[in-house]
Chain A
Amino acid sequence: MDALVLDGVTKRFGERTAVDALSFAVRPGEIFGFLGGNGAGKTTSLRMVLDIVRPTAGRISVLGCPPGRENAADLGFMPEERGLYRGMTAIDTVTYFGRLKGMSAAAARAKGHALLDRFGLAASAKMQIDKLSKGMAQKVQLAATLVNGPKLLLLDEPFSGLDPVNQGLLEHEILEAARGGATVVFSTHVMQHAERLCDRLLLLSQGRKVFEGTQAEARGRLPARLTIVARDTPMRCPGVERAEPGAADAQGWRDYDVTLAEGIDPADVLQCLTEQGVTLRRFDQHRVSLHDVFLHLVGTPPAGPADPAMAEHAA
């Protein structure tokens, strides 16, 4: 059974379509990246999964059940815009959210202490939130998200606003949660995090899915590029779309900037050149980044100017 399924889900706010016929499935134990620029529909999709807003059309299944607070005990959610009760202590905050997710007071408090200890906040457990630094408060928020040991972790732009230390901590916790069997879905427009963490990813643009698959599949969407140094042109090999020659040196060696056709493996080109007896002094393969893929598929850089979530809901 898939941990999360969205089947033809559409959400309209008045005349505006925030999410348009979105379908995807997240397998158990997977780290799934939900990528898109600001205003792409990521936050709205997550809110529909949490039943904070209801879809206009389509079906959602969360751990095999329809969305609702009945699932709260198995979910961990960290919104993009975060905050805590300033007058509450760190441990009371974590315990409160644990209890809201159906835990007993004792269990929530014990788990809260364990998490705060793990995050280096044991000494600050009884301090009020407004007395903590921003970085410490971020850790408390993370503890409140993880306190119930969620089976499905939904993180909306989790790295936004985090200092580098806490970004590292969060990456570690995401990997730990996945190792422990939890499914992690996180939205981001920072491709480096997705590259480091995601098993599979989904690219969203203006509420529509433009890609779903593994990182390799995503990179496969973009033609590979090579730099080779040879005396002969590589154009005779199948799959080579273009080979821009540079100036030749005294011995006749020349740089070639090679563009391959979509789906062609650079290894096949290397094999072909070898079989044809083309002597190579250099064969460099340029790794396609997710950022390049994003630009290729969406057409604009991932970080746009508009505020996503609130604008979506308010519309």
Chain B
Amino acid sequence: MTHNILLVAMREFRQITGMRSFWLTLLILPLALAVGPIASRLTQSEKTQRVMLIDADGRAAAAIRARLDTDHQRRVLTALSRYAQRYGLDRADPGALWAQHDRLFGDADVAMFAKAGGLPAALAAMRPATTSETPKFDAPEADFVVLPTPPAIARAAPGALDAQLKPLLQPGEFGDKTVKPLDYAVYIPRGFGVQTADVRLWSSEQPGANFVQPLQTVLTQDLRTAYLESTGLARDQARTATSLVPAIAVSTPAPGGGRERMLVRSVVPLLSAYILLMSLLLSGNWILQGLVEERSNKLIETVLACISPDELLYGKLAGTVAVGLTMVLVWGLCATGAAVATQGAVGAFLQAALAPLASPWIILVMLYFFLAGYLMVSMILLAIGAMSDSMRDAQSYLTPVLLVIAMPFTVVAQGVLSNSGATAIKVLTWIPIYTPFTMLARLGSGVSTMEIVGSGVLLAVFIGIEFVLLARVFRASLLNAGQKPNLAALARLMQRTPA
């Protein structure tokens, strides 16, 4: 029996993997994953926004520019601190500012960082602790760049600014598509803080909080300073009072820890659930094509003269599972290739992502649910194939079946990543047709052994019953031509063992 099953499986495997469409479809996924980020990078707009400051007094513009620069340096310092912590570079200079990870960096810290030489000096200080494995520090891009104000605009009367600025904010509308548009223009009127003139902001789109907030901070500080001065407070005291900020101590998990760790650990399990779904969606057609060909070509009788329907069924299942595993293997090889090629940050990420697989138990569990899922759905597809005279017939059954199976996947994936909808996901785990997908997706976020074993046993029982019932449909339908069984007929086929 095993001999015949293997022969059928090998033929099935060769037939599917011999098709050009198999390899094309197989390589679409890694290609899409590779092209996606490149395309997104190519199409991504420049992050740094262009700002123009029109300061009638020539006083506030410098403060705004300094504010924007300080905020950017703070982001650099924060990123540098996480980088040092993640790759153990603190040991190069434990007293350095970037080796402190327990507080928000204030303006004074940023000033100190700049005074000590800023980013180049910090990277040089870290260098002794770096290894060949340490990826390059990727400094955050500046959010804003302040452009020099053209003299014509600087001299323009407030009422003429709208007309002057419009070509700069929307150059496309004025026929000049080569000029980069201005994102923000700010006009600070003469006597701001003393008289009640309005500050004006022009924006090429809805203004973002990341710009409005620092602008407001600087201008508010100016207003308050002016007010305190008017109450008789000395200028320096007034400035100190308006620039006071609390020191905030921060406790966060180390990079790669906490929620981030959970997300990273969920990547491989989620990906395996996605791969299971994708490989089933893709191979579903090939499974059906093989069986429909045998039926429509009247091959089935010749085959059944040599082997039993059960051998044919198990052989096809084995061949199908082998095709599925080949797809996973090819995708795995592509991922490994990508990891080796990119190394650095991707390698470190992969290392963290593959951490759940360090446990043989988890590998076993993933393999079990993956194979069980494949068998469960393949069996349904084979029963559909046995009932169909043509691919059109088969598609009419296949589409609703795959929709029912695939639909909740998005909800499950989102739920796992956002840690929401826990109850719904737990319920889905116990519905056998969703068990493999849900369980695979959840493995990274921690599932109790009881739940794994319980849902695994339930799934095994379901597959056992499915095999008995659908194998009856398969056997009874193999030689029937021109008959589309309705639900009642299907139920009858499941109830009896055909002669």
For B482, list chain A residues within 8 Å (CB). 310, 314
Answer whether residue A159 sits at the interface, using C-beta atoms and an 8 A cutoff.
Answer: no
Q: In the complex, are the beta carbons of B306 and A84 less than 8 A apart?
A: no
How far is A69 from B211 in the complex, measured between Cα atoms in Å? 80
For B311, list chain A residues within 8 Å (CB). 69
How far is A193 from B191 in the complex, measured between Cα atoms in Å? 117
A119 to chain B, nearest CB (A): 18
How far is A101 from B3 in the complex, measured between Cα atoms in Å? 11
For B481, list chain A residues within 8 Å (CB). 310, 314
Answer whether residue B11 sits at the interface, using C-beta atoms and an 8 A cutoff.
Answer: yes
For A141, list chain B residues within 8 Å (CB). 302
Residue of B nearest to A78 (CB): B302
Q: In the complex, are the beta carbons of B298 and A82 less than 8 A apart?
A: yes
B493 to chain A, nearest CB (A): 13
For B483, list chain A residues within 8 Å (CB). 314
Q: In the complex, are the beta carbons of B299 and A83 less than 8 A apart?
A: yes
Answer whether residue A54 sits at the interface, using C-beta atoms and an 8 A cutoff.
Answer: yes
Q: In the complex, are the beta carbons of A100 and B298 less than 8 A apart?
A: no
Taken residue by residue from 303 to 318, chain B's Cβ proximity to chain A (1 for < 8 Å, 0 otherwise) reads as 1111110010000000
Q: Provided the pairs A85-B293, A86-B293 are in contact, do residues A72 and B305 lie with their beta carbons within 8 angstroms? A: yes
How far is A56 from B499 in the complex, measured between Cα atoms in Å? 8
Answer whether residue B420 sits at the interface, using C-beta atoms and an 8 A cutoff.
Answer: no
Specify which of A72, A81, A96, A100 is in contact with B301 (CB 8 Å cutoff). A81
How far is A47 from B286 in the complex, measured between Cα atoms in Å? 29
B contacts with A, residue count (CB < 8 A):
28
Q: In the complex, are the beta carbons of A72 and B307 less than 8 A apart?
A: yes
Taken residue by residue from 72 to 88, chain A's Cβ proximity to chain B (1 for < 8 Å, 0 otherwise) reads as 10010111011111111
Answer whether residue B423 sits at the interface, using C-beta atoms and an 8 A cutoff.
Answer: no
How far is A99 from B308 in the complex, measured between Cα atoms in Å? 14
Residue of A nearest to B4 (CB): A100
Residue of A nearest to B478 (CB): A52
Q: In the complex, are the beta carbons of A100 and B499 less than 8 A apart?
A: no
Q: Provided the pairs A56-B499, A85-B293 are in contact, do residues A77 and B15 lie with their beta carbons within 8 angstroms? A: no
How far is A47 from B309 in the complex, measured between Cα atoms in Å? 13
Q: In the complex, are the beta carbons of A77 and B499 less than 8 A apart?
A: no
Taken residue by residue from 468 to 499, chain B's Cβ proximity to chain A (1 for < 8 Å, 0 otherwise) reads as 00000000000111110000000000000001
Closest 8 CB pairs of A and B: A83-B297, A81-B298, A100-B306, A77-B305, A79-B301, A54-B499, A83-B298, A83-B299
Residue ranges of A at the interface with B (Cβ–Cβ < 8 Å): 47, 50, 52-54, 56, 69, 72, 75, 77-79, 81-88, 96-97, 99-102, 141, 144, 310, 313-314
Question: A97-B306, A310-B479 known; 14 other A-B pairs, CB under 8 Å?
Answer: A52-B304, A52-B479, A56-B499, A78-B302, A79-B302, A83-B294, A83-B298, A84-B297, A85-B299, A87-B15, A88-B11, A100-B4, A101-B306, A310-B481
Can you list 28 A-B contacts (CB < 8 A)?
A47-B301, A50-B304, A54-B499, A69-B306, A72-B307, A75-B305, A77-B301, A77-B302, A77-B305, A78-B302, A81-B301, A82-B302, A83-B294, A83-B297, A83-B302, A85-B293, A85-B297, A85-B299, A86-B293, A96-B7, A96-B11, A99-B7, A100-B306, A100-B307, A102-B3, A144-B302, A310-B480, A313-B480
